[in-house]
Chains A and B, each alone.
Chain A
Amino acid sequence: MNRLKNKDGSAILWTVLLTVIITILLGTLLTLSYGYHNSTIATVTKQQAYFTARSATDMLISELGEKGADSNLMPRNKGSKVTVDDFNFDESMKMGKANAVIEKTSEDTVEVKVTATYADSKYTMTATLKNQPIFFGGIAVKRLNIPATSTFTLTEKTDLYIDDEGQFTGKLNLGGNLITKGDIKLLAGSTVAGTTFSNDVFFDNNSATKNPKKKIWDSSRFIISNYTLEAKYPGFVQTTRMLVRSIFSGNYNYQLCNNFYSSAFNPSLVDTWQVDKFAWHNNSRYIRIAFYDSIIFTDKDAFDVNQISYSNTGYTSVKDDVTSIAYVLVDKNCKLRIRYGLTTDYAGFLGFMQDISNALLDKKLSYINVYLEDGAVLELGNSAGNSDTALKRLNFYMSIYGTENSKVVLHNNVKVHGSINVGELEIRPGANATVKYITSNGGQVAKQKVDEIWTISNYTD
């Protein structure tokens, strides 16, 4: 007992005990630190494996989206699979390897499963691609001329189809999509499909490494160049002309150049169709073509109009379902110049109402269909002036159709609500013009399916 109480020499025991405790503590600390370090390193390699998997997935999305059923990677039948063993990334990049399995899970759905390996890390990513239609609606022209000093704006959901090469030096602000049959150069600062390009961008057929023919963000935002729309969908370009022709299957009236025709109008949406130079007609609804002040036929082939408007003066028995439509035909090699459109207060109406007591018409839409024959020219906003009042009256609610040799010229501050489908569209030098595609007031052609794309619908990281 005394020996136990004797504390002499206990220091060495305490030293040994402390050393053991410190060793255990340090061992634990070092193990934890090492584990944390290793875990971080694994996260780093996993991150690269993720990037490699993402690169491979994007490549497949690009390939399948670009070629669709023409790609030999597209499984043919439901349930069939295609395997990709390697994506051949450049060796110097040291991105690791990736392989993929592509499976057609339904007629319009493809599932892509990519597994990437980098160092000891693996990463699996799946994506679902769906076959979606691409729709087009807006301006379809063979040639588009935007001078360097001009700006041409197509509002959101207004698409542009150029049947030839789009070579213009002015600024293009295209809220909708772009389809061009030839090569196209988009200048820096241009906006297409909601994307503003900070540099000049070429879409051509000659580069193997960049600038693809299609640039598709999703089924509603895309650029397609070198695209033969007409060949793939015969009749598309001419569809509107056929439509106009069919409307005019019955009798019709028109004013062309210096010739005036008037006869019964069919269909009977408007009782009378008259060209009025000086006075309103009473007790009838009619389309009024007001001449360009007192100057008529200022040059040999031009017909100058101040405004085309609609009147229902004194007419009180209009039914709810009445929709006023005006048809204007411009004969071969003639030029129609319309000075004013409408203010936005009358958006949706062909012209201002003379008799507002007939409120039924207020809710009805009206529009003007213009058809241009070969060599015909339609100028909108010509000599409209720059007063505030004049500028407000430059909204044209129209559907304009023409042959491939017809031409539309838009002057400064003109805004077309409807659609344009002609041979050439010219923006006057220094002008700032806008087109907004709408079917309710002017556009007689609904958006049409022009292509199908395989686009990503689900992306699981």
Chain B
Amino acid sequence: MLIKLRKKLLEKSGMTLVETVVGFSLLAIASTMLFTGLMTSVSLIKEANDYKVSSARVSTALDVEDEALIVSSNNETMSLPSVGGSTVPGEYYKYSDGGKISYKVFVPSSLDPN
């Protein structure tokens, strides 16, 4: 359709120069919009999909409580959470996937099977 339009625009009969210029400009703008818009959409969908995949991967990694994910092991720089006035012993687990997504969870020692 765009090619047919281009051919019609090149036919000078019945059109002033201004109309031709405006016509080509509109065609150029439409083409650019189409290209940019499609690229943006693809980019958004791709990024959203990346998030989804990363999220699923990270959640699974945390659910299995991989020892490699521990970020606190009696780490004195990190404070243990407390509830009811007493500190709850346990470990912080953290997993990030390429810096895009980072999930954190705390697992009390008494519930940790290992």
Name A residues whose Cβ lies closer than 8 Å to a Cβ of B. Answer: 6, 8-12, 14-16, 18-19, 22-23, 26, 29-30, 32-34, 36-37, 39-41, 43-44, 47-48, 51-52, 54-56, 58-63, 65-66, 71-73, 84, 87-90, 92-95, 195, 197-199, 207-212, 214-217
Contacts and interface: CB of A to CB of B under 8 A. Distances in A.
B103 A73 contact: no
Given A23-B30, A93-B71, 7 more contacts: A9-B19, A15-B26, A26-B33, A37-B47, A47-B58, A71-B84, A73-B84
Contact of A15 (B27, B33, B89, B92): B27
Question: 3 tightest A-B contacts by CB?
Answer: A8-B14, A26-B37, A11-B8
A15 B1 contact: no
A12 B15 contact: yes
B88 A59 contact: yes
A63 B37 contact: no
Contacts of B62: 51
A198 B114 CA distance: 8
A8 B16 CA distance: 11
Contacts of B113: 195, 217
A11 B40 contact: no
Contact of A197 (B22, B79, B89, B114): B114
Interface in B34-93: 34, 37-38, 40-41, 44-45, 47-49, 51-52, 55, 58-59, 62, 71-72, 74, 78-92
B60 to A, nearest CB: 11
Contacts of B51: 40-41, 43-44
Nearest to A215: B110
B5 A11 contact: yes
Q: What bracket does the count of chain B residues touching chain A fall in?
A: 35 or more
A23 B41 CA distance: 14
Contacts of B86: 63
B81 A89 contact: yes
Chain A's interface: helix, strand, loop or mixed, by majority? helix
Contacts of A16: 26
B90 A62 contact: yes
A54 B40 CA distance: 36
B44 A214 contact: no
Contact of B44 (A19, A37, A215): A37
B48 A36 contact: yes
A16 B23 CA distance: 8
B66 to A, nearest CB: 12
Given A9-B14, A93-B92, A87 B83 contact: yes
B38 A22 contact: no
B84 A84 contact: yes
A37 B48 contact: yes
A214 to B, nearest CB: 6
Given A58-B108, A62-B88, A62-B110, A26 B34 contact: yes
Given A16-B26, A65-B110, A48 B5 contact: no
Given A43-B52, A210-B90, A22 B107 contact: no
A224 to B, nearest CB: 11
A144 B77 CA distance: 40
Given A43-B52, A51-B104, A208-B87, A18 B74 contact: no
B33 A22 contact: yes
A40 B109 contact: no
B14 A15 contact: no
Nearest to B13: A8
B108 A19 contact: no
B18 to A, nearest CB: 10
B104 A94 contact: yes
A238 B9 CA distance: 107
A14 B47 CA distance: 35
Contacts of A14: 5, 8
A52 B15 CA distance: 67
B114 A93 contact: no
Given A18-B2, A195-B113, A93 B88 contact: no
> Most A CB atoms within 10 A — which of B37, B72, B91?
B37
Nearest to B40: A30
A71 B80 CA distance: 18
B8 A10 contact: yes
A212 B87 CA distance: 12
Nearest to B80: A209
Contact of B33 (A9, A23, A94, A217): A23
A87 B38 CA distance: 46
Contacts of B81: 55, 59, 87-90
Contacts of B34: 22, 26
Contacts of A29: 37-38, 41
B30 A22 contact: yes
Given A15-B26, A55-B107, A63-B83, A40 B48 contact: yes
